[in-house]
Structure 1
Amino acid sequence: MKIVSRYIREFKYCLIALIVVAGMSSCKKDYLNVEEYIYDQLNVDSIFKDADRVRQYVNGIAAYLPHEDRLFTESWAPFQLASDENFASWNDNRHAGMKFLLNEITPFTANTYFNNYGTWYKGISKANLVIARLDECKELSTIQKREYLGEMAFLKGYFMYLLIQQYGPAVIPPDGIPDLLADGESLSRERSSYDDCVEYIITNMETASQLLPDKKEVQTDLYRPTSGAALAVMSRVLLTAASPMYNGNQSYADWKRSDGTNFISQTKDNVKWGKAAAAAKRVISTNRYELFTFPKSADTEPLAPEVPTANYPNGAGDIDPYRSYKYTFIGESQPSNNPEIIWCTSVQPLTGDSPLWLSTLSLSGGGNGLNVTQEMVDSYRMKDGRDVNNSSVAFPYPTGAARYANYGTTRSYSDVQLVANTPRMYINREPRFYATIGFNHSYFKGTSYTGSEGTWRNYEVTYYSNGKGAPNANQPNDYNHTGYTAIKYNHHADNIRNGAGVVPKVFPMFRYAEVLLNYAEALNELDGSYTDPATSITVSRDLSEITNAINRVRYRAGLPGLTAQESASRESIRDAIKLERKIEFAFEGRRYHDLRRWLDAPIAYNTTITGMNVKVPDSQKDRFYTRTAIASPLTRRQWYFKMYFYPIPKNALDKNSKLVQNPSW
């Protein structure tokens, strides 16, 4: 580092103390360059004299947002691999979420893995700078300034949301530009309470919702936030704040600020559920969004008799449930024409950090290392909505030897291909099962590959010890451990072997299905009614409203609506919502957070990981299709109280004397 003047040196130290930027940035970025930040601050005069430079600067702030599509490999956070849904076949730096799952992270190693702390504070500080000086740019129109101010408010709120999502209660930095003459100790700040952080997010998102446009007219701006995105963030954040983790959680009774304020409120406040319900209702009331549906076609799978045949949203009679669910994730539906997508990001599908790579067999150019648990697979229902453990005569879930008996025929519908060797335990499952789960004897099309090597496309995926997914001598660890993978993001034409043979995709960070289930959950937990003072929206625990929100999701998936048994009580509805979220948002990074906010994580993570017995050949199908505890260092997950939060990196603690670590770290 070059020698700097005493003034610059003092400025640097104060700045670090204020925004705690000495952490590493998101996974692939180098250690934060403080001199570069100082350069930014000392050269702002040139930025705000030119409209192009303002846009470049604003885009640079947005670049601090994480790559939320990177769920498994080279991921920005541990949220997906450290979920109970799955695990990777390697515990290495490229799949570092496994290290959190297996209790190998410490505050010291948090300096290296998923260290987003300083990056997001830097984003907030730069957004504050734009807000303070934007009026100096005379080249910008009033409309342009309004949109930039909306984006800055959105980014401030979103960076704070990311901070509390990963680290819990955070330091709330002051608005405006730092005082360069202040001493470092006076610029050090305590963490605020979780509720205060939520208020900071809501305040900024409220501003963003008023300043940002309803939609982006220019194709290149599709990934920029809109007013609806701000409202969707508010819905998610307020639902989380109302949940048991943050609403009267006595486990954190002794965790307090220096002034005695609890970091997490110790008083249960049912009004928080009202605020969450009103926030979701606000998104619904915009009438801008709807679940994506694809019209019923000649090859659409017939519905079970229990599913209403009225047109959607009163039934599923006019839609193709499989395509309606699948197409949002595989590139068949463009975000500009998909009313379900509220905010999304582009995906780089040909890189090794895409979900496609991890779920694809080595034979077709993939990593073959994404393992889905049997417990997750069993969560998917039969096509008539019945649980696999309580199936019907019409659509039975087989037991004994019948579970691995061959289907005996081939059948194609929508984009699904069932082969004669398909085990009967995978027949007559709900459409989201086939859209999401890759199983033994499932069919890999990979039709974009047109070369002479025919074994790279149109084959049955088998996970026997002598199957196509078995390890080879050159890659002994590249194999599936459970007999299941996640194919949610795999297009039927995708083939990594063909250089350009992967369909471009987007990843929806916020989609309307979440808003509907947020609304149902918040209403179900609400006592009485609540009226939002800002919008005058009134909500109450109305069973018809709850049922309608859940059934829209179920009908889109080709399933029956809530049964009388499911809607009988608050507890039964709660269980139904939890299961619906588990299936609807499978492998989207949401389950990790749901388990924590519900306080269900200790039970989920202390469940033995099981799958099919991939250690046996195809000649021993009875043993392969026996639920087997997976004995591997990769499955020795542990749950400790500290794991509700990710640890604050040690180097961030060293730079702020008032910053305290998360409990039990």
Structure 2
Amino acid sequence: MKTKIRFKQILFRTLSVLAFAGTISCEKYLDKAPEADISEKDVFGNFISFQGFVEEMYNCIMDPNKGGAWNQYLFADETLNNSPYAFDDGNYWGNHAYFYGQSVQMTNRDTRTKRVWEYAWYGIRKANVALAKLEEEGLFEGSQEERDHLRGQALFFRGWFYFELARYWGGMPYVTRALEATDELTSEEFKRLNFQDCALRMAEDFRAAAAILPVHWDQSGPGQRTLGHNRDRINKFHALGYLGKALLYAASPMMNEEATGNNSFNAELAKQAAEAFGELLQLADETGTYRMQSWDAWTDNFWRWNWERPGGTEGIMMPTIYQRDRVRWSALGGTVPSSLGLNSGSSADVPTHNNTKNYAMANGLPIDDPESGYDPNDPWTGREPRFYKDILKDGDQIINESGPDRYAELYNGGRHRSQINPPSVTGYYAKRYSPMGTELTISRTGALQAYIPYLRLADIYLMYAEAVLFSPGGTPKASASNYFMTAEQAINVVRNRAQLPNMADKYTATNDAFFEEIVRERAVELNFEGARFCDLRRWNRNGDPRYLNKTAIDFDRGSDGKPINLRERVIVRRVAEKKHNWLPIQIQFTTQYEGFPQNPGW
């Protein structure tokens, strides 16, 4: 019997695990009126219509720095602006136009309506519906390859949305079915898991997805319909990358302490993570599907002109593009000097001086190494190449137009330090998503495309090195069981691409010394990508005194243009206690039922 159901009920019902998702709306891809009655066969009966249902999960991916006109998305020690960050004061209740506070609207193509919490739960429900419909006898008609593509995407997204929730709020109930409004939330199924247990469930989904997804959709039968336009479709690399990432997070000290009481890496989980990353890297070597971006085009990972999509050869997972013209008002507008008129006078988020100290010298040695040649009285000379691509300092060119904003005046009393409103509060600007310099003109800004990668190959190499190091018997000279590269060699892949020499022997002599270089290398290579906050927390270092002070650099400009009378000044000392390991969950959600408790300390 052909069952008729209401279109909005089958496709867009937003009952999630805890009724977390908000209001709903109807998508247009099936060319049906919102209230039209259609059958399940119409929706789930063939690959094209079923893929349309799956596509909504892509539209639940948050674009990290475009949740508001400009929204904060860096929550550790990287940046400052003229307004206090609530997180710096220990207040983790704010949503920052990032975490929560919007109803789910699938027809709304406004980047500013996306949030992590609501859209993750909605995406999880969509994944569970898709998986259930694929199992219904006589419903889907298509090839096994088509079925695998649909199932693989749904499995990946279920794991991925749980990862997005858990990395901020901790473990969640891992529900694997689409719930009904009449379900009682009282069984074991709905009890919160710790992060480690939740991550192991994610890993099952990622592993299952990796087994059936293609290396790239352009090389698959179903992908031929969209040949050349499959770059962002979920494939085997996505699944393997997040398999390793979920396991590495689960192995990390904060998560391991929560689960076992041991503030140390879980060696067995680290080994499993290393093998997942090794499998990905081996596949990349064999297929060439992803490869490290060349140094001369390194910035292609982050931005491109003329409406061109960034990501290059290295970006595995990038955010969904909802509004291409939002870049001008967010990624660019929120980081350039207010006097350019690109940010409506709002305060720019600028790098802290302590952030810039993570960058090594051109000889590859960290600045606190006595042999590095670093001169604190001439701090910007002889630094590594990524420093000059990422950090705009005093005297650098801002824009290729005449006028008072052509070159940066970031010294005491300089135009961009005290004369414009608001000024830079630290003495720097950030260039990773705002290509200030000889290429920037006002006329070009409207077509700039800049996006924060969720996962790129450089991160895989760095995570591989970390996972190998903390595996049983791990050392800088060790490798995963399924990949030839040692932890040291993996780090050197990233360093060499940045025109730096291999690591000095003194930093590979002990595991402790090597790990400190991993910490520093991640701070640099992944700077401004949102990794730092999660890294410091999972390493149990969020409250470490080394990472609490957010500083500025005050100086005068000498007659030769060099800085003189330099003084590092603490602007903020971050409040980070044990309870800040996890964000608090909004009270309206923790009062749903007894088995869903608030996070410790909140």
TM range (shorter): 0.7 to 0.9
Residues 86 and 373, structure 1, Cα contact 8 Å, conserved in 2: yes
| Cα deviation digits, residues 157-197 of structure 1 (max 9, x gap) | 10011111111111111x23324544455598210232221
| Cα deviation digits, residues 494-516 of structure 1 (max 9, x gap) | 54732655433454221111111
The residue matched to 1:609 in structure 2 has which SS? strand
Residues 21 and 122, structure 1, Cα contact 8 Å, conserved in 2: no
Residues 118 and 652, structure 1, Cα contact 8 Å, conserved in 2: no
The residue matched to 1:358 in structure 2 has which SS? coil
Q: Are 2:177 and 1:233 aligned?
A: no
Taking a change above 3 Å as real, the CA distance of residues 265 and 121 of structure 1, as seen in their structure-2 partners, is farther
Residues 416 and 423, structure 2, Cα contact 8 Å, conserved in 1: yes
| Cα deviation digits, residues 433-473 of structure 1 (max 9, x gap) | 11111111111244xxxxxx73287x21112454342456x
C-alpha separation in 2, matches of 1:102 and 1:383:
36
Q: Residues 58-97 of structure 1: matches in 2 within 5 Å?
A: 58-68=54-64, 70=66, 74-75=70-71, 80-91=73-84
Equivalence for 2:106: none
Quick one: which amino acid aligns to residue 360 of structure 2?
R
C-alpha separation in 2, matches of 1:482 and 1:592:
20
Q: Are 2:488 and 1:488 aligned?
A: no
Q: Are 2:43 and 1:47 aligned?
A: yes
| Cα deviation digits, residues 35-75 of structure 1 (max 9, x gap) | 989x9999772522565543332222221121135499644
Taking a change above 3 Å as real, the CA distance of residues 508 and 47 of structure 1, as seen in their structure-2 partners, is same
Quick one: which amino acid aligns to residue 58 of structure 1?
V
Taking a change above 3 Å as real, the CA distance of residues 268 and 351 of structure 1, as seen in their structure-2 partners, is closer
Q: Are 2:566 and 1:626 aligned?
A: yes
Q: Are 2:282 and 1:285 aligned?
A: yes
Q: Are 2:482 and 1:551 aligned?
A: no
C-alpha separation in 2, matches of 1:273 and 1:557:
27
Equivalence for 2:179: 178
2:157 to 144, 155, 158: 155
Equivalence for 1:406: none
Q: Residues 128-527 of structure 1: matches in 2 within 5 Å?
A: 128-134=128-134, 140-173=142-175, 175-179=176-180, 181-183=182-184, 185=186, 189-217=190-218, 218-247=227-256, 249=257, 252=258, 269-286=266-283, 287=285, 288=288, 291-294=291-294, 321=295, 323-331=296-304, 338-345=312-319, 348=324, 350-351=326-327, 354-367=330-343, 369-390=348-369, 396-400=373-377, 403=378, 425-446=379-400, 454-455=402-403, 459-464=406-411, 466-470=413-417, 476=421, 478-491=422-435, 492=437, 495=440, 497-498=442-443, 501-527=446-472
Residues 300 and 311, structure 2, Cα contact 8 Å, conserved in 1: no
Taking a change above 3 Å as real, the CA distance of residues 108 and 461 of structure 1, as seen in their structure-2 partners, is closer
Instruction: Say how many residue pairs are matched.
Output: 549
Residues 493 and 502, structure 1, Cα contact 8 Å, conserved in 2: no
Q: Shift in Å at residue 128 of structure 1?
A: 1.1
- Structure 1 residue runs without a partner (length 5+): 1-7, 24-31, 92-97, 253-261, 295-320, 404-424, 447-452, 531-536
| Cα deviation digits, residues 582-618 of structure 1 (max 9, x gap) | 111111111111111111211257643222227x788
Quick one: which amino acid aligns to residue 197 of structure 1?
C
Quick one: which amino acid aligns to residue 552 of structure 1?
V
C-alpha separation in 2, matches of 1:219 and 1:336:
16
Residues 397 and 438, structure 2, Cα contact 8 Å, conserved in 1: no
The residue matched to 2:454 in structure 1 has which SS? strand
1:595 to 519, 533, 536: 536
Q: Are 2:89 and 1:102 aligned?
A: yes
The residue matched to 1:517 in structure 2 has which SS? helix
- Structure 2 residue runs without a partner (length 5+): 1-5, 28-33, 103-113, 219-226
Q: Shift in Å at residue 547 of structure 1?
A: 2.0
TM-score for the superposition, normalised by structure 2: 0.80
Q: Shift in Å at residue 655 of structure 1?
A: 2.0
C-alpha separation in 1, matches of 2:36 and 2:238:
29
Residues 173 and 192, structure 2, Cα contact 8 Å, conserved in 1: yes
Decide which structure has the larger Cα Rg and report it: 1
Higher mean displacement: 642-651 or 113-122: 113-122
Taking a change above 3 Å as real, the CA distance of residues 624 and 592 of structure 1, as seen in their structure-2 partners, is farther
C-alpha separation in 1, matches of 2:61 and 2:247:
21
Equivalence for 2:224: none
The residue matched to 1:655 in structure 2 has which SS? coil
Taking a change above 3 Å as real, the CA distance of residues 190 and 624 of structure 1, as seen in their structure-2 partners, is farther
| Cα deviation digits, residues 179-232 of structure 1 (max 9, x gap) | 454445559821023222112111111121122221132333311211111101
The residue matched to 1:610 in structure 2 has which SS? strand
| Cα deviation digits, residues 613-644 of structure 1 (max 9, x gap) | 27x7889999975223244xxx3531121111
Taking a change above 3 Å as real, the CA distance of residues 74 and 166 of structure 1, as seen in their structure-2 partners, is farther
C-alpha separation in 2, matches of 1:326 and 1:58:
32
The residue matched to 2:453 in structure 1 has which SS? strand
Quick one: which amino acid aligns to residue 191 of structure 2?
E
Q: Shift in Å at residue 657 of structure 1?
A: 2.8
Residues 62 and 320, structure 2, Cα contact 8 Å, conserved in 1: no
C-alpha separation in 1, matches of 2:195 and 2:538:
13
C-alpha separation in 2, matches of 1:148 and 1:72:
32
Q: Shift in Å at residue 386 of structure 1?
A: 2.8
Residues 92 and 580, structure 2, Cα contact 8 Å, conserved in 1: no
Taking a change above 3 Å as real, the CA distance of residues 81 and 102 of structure 1, as seen in their structure-2 partners, is farther
Taking a change above 3 Å as real, the CA distance of residues 41 and 130 of structure 1, as seen in their structure-2 partners, is farther
Quick one: which amino acid aligns to residue 328 of structure 1?
N
Q: Shift in Å at residue 34 of structure 1?
A: 6.4
The residue matched to 1:538 in structure 2 has which SS? coil
Residues 77 and 549, structure 2, Cα contact 8 Å, conserved in 1: no
Residues 149 and 212, structure 2, Cα contact 8 Å, conserved in 1: yes
Quick one: which amino acid aligns to residue 397 of structure 1?
Y
Quick one: which amino acid aligns to residue 202 of structure 1?
A
The residue matched to 2:407 in structure 1 has which SS? strand
| Cα deviation digits, residues 531-587 of structure 1 (max 9, x gap) | xxxxxx7269x9x71221111111111111111111111111111211111111111
Equivalence for 2:17: 19
Taking a change above 3 Å as real, the CA distance of residues 434 and 268 of structure 1, as seen in their structure-2 partners, is closer
Residues 303 and 433, structure 2, Cα contact 8 Å, conserved in 1: yes
C-alpha separation in 2, matches of 1:568 and 1:159:
39
Taking a change above 3 Å as real, the CA distance of residues 574 and 181 of structure 1, as seen in their structure-2 partners, is closer
The residue matched to 2:357 in structure 1 has which SS? helix
The residue matched to 1:224 in structure 2 has which SS? coil
C-alpha separation in 2, matches of 1:131 and 1:515:
29
Higher mean displacement: 558-567 or 139-148: 139-148
Taking a change above 3 Å as real, the CA distance of residues 182 and 273 of structure 1, as seen in their structure-2 partners, is closer
Taking a change above 3 Å as real, the CA distance of residues 196 and 353 of structure 1, as seen in their structure-2 partners, is farther
Equivalence for 2:105: none
TM-score for the superposition, normalised by structure 1: 0.73
The residue matched to 2:319 in structure 1 has which SS? strand
C-alpha separation in 2, matches of 1:610 and 1:184:
47
